[in-house]
Amino acid sequence: NNDELLEQLRLKLSRETWKSWLSTSKILDIKKNEVIIGLGNIFLKEAVEKKFGKVIKDTLSDILKRDVSVSFTDIKIDNSKKINKGPMIKTRPLKLSEFNTEFVFESFVVGHSNRMAYYSAQEVAQSPGKFNPLFIYGDVGLGKTHLLHAIANHMLEHSPDLRVKYLTAEDFMNEMMKAIRSKDMDNFREKFRKSVDVFLIDDVQFLIGKNSVQTELFHTFNSLFNSGKQVVICSDRTPEELATFHPRLISRFEMGLVVNIEEPDAGTRYLIAKKMAHMISLQLSDDVAHYLAEHVDRNLRRMRGAIMNLMLHTKITGKPANMETARKIVDSIIRMNDEKRKYNSKEAFETIKINTLVNSVLQEYDIERKELYSSSRKKKISEARQILAYMLKIYGKMNVKDISKMLKRNHSTISQSIKKIDQSLVLGNKLIKSKLDNIKNKMEQEKTDM
Ligand code: ADP
Ligand code: MG
């Protein structure tokens, strides 16, 4: 019986081999002089054939007490999920990060706006080390994260021995903080510098103003580069626009290949809408796809939202979406985004983030809120004010005009303050730097307490 034979085969092979390569296998047919084995996906088939074909043939011949040949075939699993959770990926022992299985090269539409980024990413996935580092920048929702995951997914399938690490700069910072708190930096460094072959770091703009994390990242990069490991960095700004980044780090970023993703044109957006629908087996008529391409602009997350909505609609009504539905959905998405934007900038952003920042500064300097806004020129208070202005600019992304309103100072006083702190940092003023780090830690603390 097929299952019994498979079980006997399993017992004859090493556990590691089984787990990594054959856990998805099935014996499909036992013929007189041939055994047919099905495997979870086509890439697995090639590798298993090459690596274990002979061993499996010999073992099976042994068990069956007759000379059999072995052939492998890929089991057609549910087609809509063909790139999802291939069992091989699931059991791969070297997997260091979670990857979105929908973000693969095959599901990425190549157009004028992203061609360079796409091909560089593909090149990196196929020959790691060739363009090192690769730095991809572009606005939110244009496919950067998609490409990073595509690199990872490609490598998992084609170079299963590579240890691929993906994380956002924020994750990196959080892990570092955790390591510092538990006095475990050795382990942290070992983990990032020694146990990674491909390092994919997303949204590095998050580290603007976070100097100590930048320094750590710089050393991580150096160590990886020096041992020939591939690094890919994504950011919503160009290296130059990361102006407050440590110059050493910026020149590292610029050392390899820097590519840009631009906004897709309407034609590409049309194809993306079609592709996204195709990926979830949604039928999308040409006129609806055109409508989406014309009306859902720039941020492709919205396009994805629209497609998911259409999918839901189709499921519920049992009818393919027509133009009227498409219009409604697009309208509601646009409206929702307008409201979210309002909410983000005013309520959530200003009250939570800015408040946390102000509180942290007050705590660090041990002063009262009203002193901050007072006309006092006491050194402690004016320094606190300067640091706050600086941080509101860098972290709060507020402009000088709003900061001066908030702190009740004039425009030039505020820009002077910001410049002064910036200079102190550049000149390596330890006191200011430690104040800044303390405040940042306090903010982090509050964030995790929330
Ligand atoms: P970013 O990281 O640049 O903010 P994402 O990679 O998260 O953007 O992309 C947002 C959404 O748009 C994702 O669902 C992604 O799959 C999709 N997307 C972006 N660019 C493309 C493309 N060229 N083809 C297909 N889908 C895309
Ligand atoms: Mg992203």
**CATH code of the domain containing 257:** 3.40.50.300
Residue 441 lies in a domain: yes
Strands (E), 205-319: 230-235, 257-261
Q: State whether residue 348 is helix, strand or coil.
A: helix
Q: Is the CB of 262 under 6 A from ligand 1?
A: no
Residues 300 and 351 in one domain: no
Sheet holding 69-74, edge to edge: 26-30, 34-39, 69-74
Index of the ligand 1 atom closest to the CA of residue 304: 14
Closest CA to 199 of 239, 238, 226, 237: 226
Q: Whose CA is nearest to atom 19 of ligand 1?
A: 143
Index of the ligand 1 atom closest to the CA of residue 149: 6
Residues 249 and 270 in one domain: no
Tokens read off for 355 = 């408040």
Instruction: Give the whole-angstrom CA distance, residue 33 versus residue 37.
Output: 13
Write down the pTM of the prediction. 0.60
**CATH code of the domain containing 296:** 1.10.8.60
Give the largest CA-CA distance in the chain. 96
Residues 40 and 70 in one domain: yes
Residues in the chain: 450
* Phi, psi (rounded to 5 degrees) for 254: -85, -10
Residue 39 lies in a domain: yes
Task: For residue 144, report the distance from its CA to the centre of ligand 2, in Å.
Answer: 5
Tokens read off for 331 = 């309208």
Q: What is the pLDDT along the chain (450 residues), one digit of tens a residue?
A: 888 888 888 888 887 777 767 877 889 889 989 999 987 655 567 678 877 888 899 999 999 999 999 988 876 544 333 333 344 444 444 667 788 889 999 999 999 899 999 999 999 999 998 889 999 999 999 999 999 999 999 999 998 889 999 999 999 999 999 999 999 999 999 999 989 999 999 999 999 888 899 999 999 999 998 899 999 999 998 887 887 788 888 888 888 889 999 999 999 999 999 999 998 889 999 999 999 999 887 789 889 989 988 988 888 888 888 888 888 888 887 777 666 665 554 455 555 677 788 888 999 999 988 888 888 888 999 999 999 999 988 877 788 988 888 888 999 999 999 999 988 887 888 899 899 989 988 887 765 543
For a ligand 1 pocket test, name from 103, 115, 146, 270 the mutation site with the most ligand atoms within 8 angstroms of its C-beta.
146
Residue 45 lies in a domain: yes
Residues 243 and 274 in one domain: no
Q: Whose CA is nearest to atom 9 of ligand 1?
A: 143
Closest CA to 180 of 450, 449, 445: 445
Tokens read off for 244 = 């407050």
Range of the domain at 274: 266-321
Beta bridge partners of 138: 261
CB 117, CB 240: distance < 8 Å: no
143 among annotated binding-site residues:
yes
Residue 96 lies in a domain: no
Residues 306 and 384 in one domain: no
Task: For residue 201, report the distance from its CA to the centre of ligand 2, in Å.
Answer: 10
CB 12, CB 36: distance < 8 Å: no
Tally of structural domains, the chain: 4
Tokens read off for 209 = 């103003």
Residue 332 lies in a domain: no
Q: Whose CA is nearest to atom 5 of ligand 1?
A: 143
Task: For residue 57, report the distance from its CA to the centre of ligand 2, in Å.
Answer: 46
Q: How far is the CA of 403 from the CAs of 347, 365, 388, 440, in angstroms?
A: 17, 19, 9, 19
